[in-house]
């Protein structure tokens, strides 16, 4: 009987690998690349132990502990520095990878009817879930080996083999435990949107619980899976018990997911959605109302997240002046500008990060149009008195307003928290203006997505690579000494760095014109191409 439950798991695993033949290697390549380049950068920036000890002193404050977790600040080698500053944040991204991949092959496939087709074949009842978890387990093990052996191969004195393997194992174990979390929520929730929402909520709560615990109560931190990651103390004490604990909890989550999957009906969930109203409101009887309703939960969640991000950045502004003066890394990132404090010079960098984060929800909102098309829902709207231009314009308006809302909330949060912790807070107009200056660049990114949806919708996913590229060249460009033209490939590279620079309206106007052209071309293409489905 048990064999029948998992029948043809191997074949389904190969099928999943075939579907993700680009997705999984890109995740592994990106995570490994940015893990392996950081120790070399640290080695160049902090060549002596004296410089590293000075850096350790700047990390002795609650804000940094809450952000990156505790570390071995008394013996701050390159290895200990890499673990302290990179391991936890990378683990969060690995957790996100597992959430997205598990949801794609479980609840999302079930929602699209693929699981029903698979179950009509001679496969076991649990084969698809088992194959998904097996592929994610192998993926995370490969990630652990690549990063672990890669870090050791760098040949840095303080990064021995055991510490490197432990570093990689911490990343892999985090991915496996959040694969288990997502597998359970794929059984509890009735939709892929709910599965992602619950799973990411667990990821965020784990991070916040760990942050509060690391600052105020270590016992509280141990209740969070992300609180176990820094406890490995890779390159210092090399504790393996957190890895064993994460693997044990993962197996428990896998068993729970198998049990729930075995007893529930297909397309059902243990947390059923509330029944809708008998009659749709006037708001839902037009395309923009329907599109907004479908995205309401995500928009609210991102809005809260952007405001909290602004608050968290603003909360550390009071201590930044002393931190920058003793940080070689920040001296590399910030070029001295006469007449402006170091904190003021840091504002443009914060704005770039917040603008790039704030670009994600409007791009998701615009991509939703193609997502609905792939699920054959768009044809129900276009079959009525709704033109393609009107339909795309509804999604475009939601996306454009969404972007303005996100960058505004982040700026308000930054200003509110910064004013409360600084002796002389920043002027609201200065902070808000520095943030909104990036809005034309966001419109260009939205315009690119509109263009792709209009002419080559299958390529619209590659907008995320462009966002990632923009983040790397603009946020880390100072450290890696990229030439100026590398940053100017991104629209964010043309925005004047307020308040350090004067406002220059010419590049902003050109970006607005470029966004308009891209958008118009996208509308033309959308009206001409065939609708999929």
- The span from the CA of 471 to the CA of 349, in Å, is 11
Largest Cα–Cα distance of the chain, in whole Å? 76
Residue among 53, 72, 248 nearest 163 (CA) = 72
Query: How does DSSP assign 48-60, residue by residue?
Result: SHHHHHHHHHHT-
Check residue 1 and give its pLDDT: 52
Is residue 392's pLDDT more than 80?
A: yes
Provide long-range contacts, Cβ within 8 A and 24+ apart, for 466-470: 466/490, 467/356, 467/359, 467/360, 467/363, 468/30, 470/356
What does the pLDDT average to over 277-303?
83
Q: Is residue 392 within 8 Å of 422, Cβ to Cβ?
A: no
CA distance 34 to 40: 11
User: Does residue 2 register a pLDDT over 60?
Assistant: no
Q: Please state, in angstroms and rounded to a whole number, the distance separating the CA atoms of residues 382 and 384.
A: 5
- Give, as one character, the DSSP assignment of residue 286: S
Q: What is the mean pLDDT of the chain?
A: 86
Highest-scoring range by mean pLDDT, 90-94, 242-246, 320-324, 411-415:
242-246
Task: Please state, in angstroms and rounded to a whole number, the distance separating the CA atoms of residues 501 and 485.
Answer: 19
- At residue 512 the predicted structure's pLDDT band, cuts being 50, 70 and 90, is very high
Per-residue pLDDT for 339 more than 70?
no
Highest mean pLDDT among 296-310, 344-358, 395-409: 395-409
- What is the pLDDT at residue 152? 93
Main-chain phi, psi angles of 271, to 5 degrees: -115, 75
Nearest to residue 511, comparing CAs of 419, 455, 448, 454?
A: 448
CA-nearest of 370, 346, 378 to 497 is 346
Instruction: Tell me the per-residue pLDDT of 54-63, one tens digit each, with 9 for 90 and over.
Output: 778 767 766 6
Q: Please report where in the chains the tokens 């529930």 appear, as a residue.
A: 264
Give the Cα-Cα-Cα angle 233, 236, 239 (nearest 5 degrees): 45
Is omega for the bond preceding 49 within 30 degrees of 0, making it cis?
no
> Omega into 95 within 30° of 0, i.e. cis?
no
Task: Tell me the whole-structure pTM to 2 decimals.
Answer: 0.74
Q: At what angle do helices 241-263 and 161-188 cross, to 10 degrees?
A: 20
Q: Tell me the pLDDT tens digit for each residue of 125-184.
A: 999 999 999 999 999 999 999 999 999 999 888 899 999 999 999 999 999 999 999 999
Residue-level pLDDT at 16 = 94
The 3-state DSSP class for residue 189 equals: strand
């Amino acid at each position: 009987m048990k064999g029948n439950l998992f029948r043809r798991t191997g074949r389904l695993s190969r099928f999943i690998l075939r579907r993700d033949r680009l997705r999984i290697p890109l995740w592994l390549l990106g995570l490994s690349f940015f893990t392996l380049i950081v120790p070399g950068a640290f080695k160049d920036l902090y060549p002596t132990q004296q410089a590293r000890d000075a850096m350790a002193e700047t990390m002795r404050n609650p804000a940094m502990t809450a952000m990156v977790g505790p570390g071995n600040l008394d013996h701050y080698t390159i290895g200990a520095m890499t673990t302290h500053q990179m391991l936890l944040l990378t683990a969060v991204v690995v957790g996100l990878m597992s959430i997205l991949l598990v949801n794609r092959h479980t609840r999302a496939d079930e929602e699209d009817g693929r699981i029903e087709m698979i179950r009509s074949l001679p496969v076991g009842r649990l084969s698809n879930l088992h194959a998904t978890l097996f592929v994610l387990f192998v993926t995370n093990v490969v990630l652990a080996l690549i990063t672990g052996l890669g870090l050791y191969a760098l040949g840095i004195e303080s990064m021995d083999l055991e510490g490197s393997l432990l570093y990689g194992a911490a990343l892999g174990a985090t991915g496996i435990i959040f694969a288990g979390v997502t597998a359970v929520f794929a059984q509890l929730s009735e939709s892929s949107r709910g599965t992602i929402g619950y799973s990411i909520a667990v990821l965020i709560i784990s991070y916040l619980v760990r942050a509060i615990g690391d600052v105020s109560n270590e016992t509280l931190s141990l209740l969070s899976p992300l609180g176990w990651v820094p406890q490995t103390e890779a390159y210092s004490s090399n504790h393996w018990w957190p890895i064993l604990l994460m693997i044990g909890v993962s197996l428990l989550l896998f068993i729970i997911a198998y049990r729930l999957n075995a007893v529930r009906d297909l397309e059902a969930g243990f947390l059923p959605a509330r029944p809708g109203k008998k009659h749709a409101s006037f708001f839902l009887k037009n395309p923009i109302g329907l599109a907004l309703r479908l995205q309401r939960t995500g928009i609210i969640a991102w809005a809260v997240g952007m405001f909290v991000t602004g608050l968290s950045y603003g909360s550390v502004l009071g201590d930044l002046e002393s931190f920058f003066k003793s940080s070689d890394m920040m001296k590399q990132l910030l070029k001295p500008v006469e007449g402006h404090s170091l904190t003021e010079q840091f504002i443009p960098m914060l704005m770039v990060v917040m603008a790039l984060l704030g670009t994600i929800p409007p791009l998701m909102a615009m991509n939703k149009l193609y997502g609905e098309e792939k699920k054959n829902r768009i044809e129900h709207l276009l079959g009525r008195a709704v033109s393609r231009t009107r339909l795309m314009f509804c999604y475009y308006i939601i996306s454009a307003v969404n972007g303005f809302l996100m960058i505004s909330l982040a700026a308000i949060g930054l200003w509110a928290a910064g004013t409360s912790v600084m002796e002389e807070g920043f002027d609201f107009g200065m902070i808000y203006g520095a943030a909104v200056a990036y809005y034309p660049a966001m419109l260009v990114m939205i315009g690119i997505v509109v263009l792709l949806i209009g002419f080559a919708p299958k390529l619209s996913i590659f907008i995320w690579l462009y966002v990632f590229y923009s983040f790397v060249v603009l946020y880390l460009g100072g450290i890696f000494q990229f030439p100026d033209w590398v940053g100017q490939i991104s629209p964010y590279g043309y925005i004047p760095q307020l308040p350090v620079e004067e406002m220059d309206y010419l590049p902003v106007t050109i970006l607005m014109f470029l966004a308009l052209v891209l958008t118009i071309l996208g509308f033309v293409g959308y009206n001409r191409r065939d609708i999929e489905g």
